[in-house]
Amino acid sequence: MVPITDIYQSRVDNDTAILLRQDPIVYSGSRFKVAPGLSQHQLRGYRKNGFILLEGFLPEYEVEIYLKEAQCMAADPQIRAREEAIAEPGSDAVRSVFRVHRLNDRFERLSRDARLVNIARQILGSEVYIHQSRVNLKPGFVGEKFYWHSDFETWHVEDGMPRMRAVSCTILLTENNEHNGPLMLVAGSHRHYVSCVGATPEDHYRQSLKKQEYGIADPVALEFLIERGGIQSMKGPAGSVVFFDCNTMHGSNSNISPYPRSNLFLVYNSVDNALTAPRSGLKPRPEFIATRSDFSPIVPLEPEFPGIGITVQPKS
Ligand code: 6CS
Ligand code: FE
């Protein structure tokens, strides 16, 4: 019997396991508590559920600009030829574009926007940097599902992220509704870690970013989590923002409606949780999926579009 040295061991056994989370959800004692962010009530909801939906957080005119920017990127032959652009399985439509906070100036500024960074700092109780960014376009008719998974499981095994101290910020660039495959989150699932079955193949990301087959949760574990907390769909108008814990179980259905479901993801990680070597001797994934070259803290930027954006209060 090999002693367990990794508290979040996964993909080393033929069996699944449900382990208790060993890390805080909201990190306290931080000086960032004082920056404008979530109310105490909202923070309690985040701690309990593992996510919070802020309906209409960004004004419509602002988010229209981001949507156009994302669509232009997906249509640009130079972007489409890059490794950051991932095609839908069985189609040449663009499924995701990664590293958008480096490929595009507007997204770079948005990733440093004080309205978002203050919330990420408040939750993580430290300075933060961008671990990963991407746009998931989920085009009408051909946008395929994302099967149930915890991002942390992948980031821990494949990127060597030590602990659960990262938060995903999702900005709805189009309306997300019951027809176009909204993000589905399992409430309370962030309190359990599902250790997954099967060894990770070499260069797994080439396959997994189209269709994930390793690091997905076992049906028995999913039933356990879903029966306890239930599934909640993150439906809302464009401009709504979701913050969800790195270990919250999530997925989404395919989009057979004619309308795209396009969302921007910015993953904030604590500077105190910088990446180490991947588990099981895997080689590090490329920089466009997992920042490894620079863990320096983000200097927050006052919003580019002053006025409406900064005065919009998140709904509880
Ligand atoms: O491999 C990853 O890092 C990613 N895979 C999924 C399915 N979601 C999060 C992340 O982009
Ligand atoms: Fe994910």
The pLDDT value given to residue 313: 41
Q: Is 22 part of any domain?
A: no
Domain extent for 180? 27-281
Q: Is 313 part of any domain?
A: no
Q: Is 289 part of any domain?
A: no
Distances (CA, A) of 132 to 6, 65, 248, 255, 262: 23, 21, 16, 24, 17
The pLDDT value given to residue 215: 84
Lining ligand 1 with CB less than 6 A are 132, 134, 146, 149, 151, 154, 205, 208, 212, 289
Point out the residues of the chain with pLDDT beneath 70.
1-4, 29-34, 304-316
Question: Residue 285 CA: which ligand is closest?
Answer: 1
Check if the beta carbon of residue 72 is closer than 8 Å to that of residue 97: no
Whole-angstrom distance between the N-terminal and C-terminal Cα of the chain? Answer: 49
Ligand 1 nearest atom to the CA of residue 151, by list position = 9
Q: With pLDDT > 70 as the criterion, what percentage of the chain qualifies?
A: 93
Q: Is 288 part of any domain?
A: no
Q: Which residues contact 290 (CB under 8 A, 6 or more apart)?
A: 131, 132, 155, 158, 159, 275, 284
Residue 27 neighbours by CB distance under 10 Å:
18
Residue 36 is given by DSSP the state S
**CA-closest residue to ligand 1 atom 9:** 151
**CA-closest residue to ligand 1 atom 5:** 209
Q: Is 209 part of any domain?
A: yes
**CA-closest residue to ligand 1 atom 8:** 151
The pLDDT value given to residue 315: 43
146 CA from centroid of ligand 1 (Å): 9
Q: How many structural domains is the chain composed of? A: 1
CATH number at residue 118: 2.60.120.620
Question: Residue 146 CA: which ligand is closest?
Answer: 1
Ligand 1 nearest atom to the CA of residue 212, by list position = 7
Q: Is 168 part of any domain?
A: yes
Q: Is 38 part of any domain?
A: yes
Mutate to test the pocket of ligand 1, among 11, 88, 132, 161 (most ligand atoms within 8 A of CB): 132
29 CA from centroid of ligand 1 (Å): 30
The pLDDT value given to residue 213: 82
Q: Is 15 part of any domain?
A: no
The pLDDT value given to residue 144: 94
184 CA from centroid of ligand 2 (Å): 10
Q: Which residues contact 263 (CB under 8 A, 6 or more apart)?
A: 135, 136, 138, 170, 171, 172, 173, 174, 176, 183
Per-residue pLDDT reduced to its tens digit, 147-186: 999 999 999 999 999 999 999 999 999 999 999 999 999 9
Q: Specify the pTM.
A: 0.94
Helix (H) or strand (E) holding 129: strand 128-136
Q: Which residues contact 210 (CB under 8 A, 6 or more apart)?
A: 86, 87, 88, 89, 95, 144
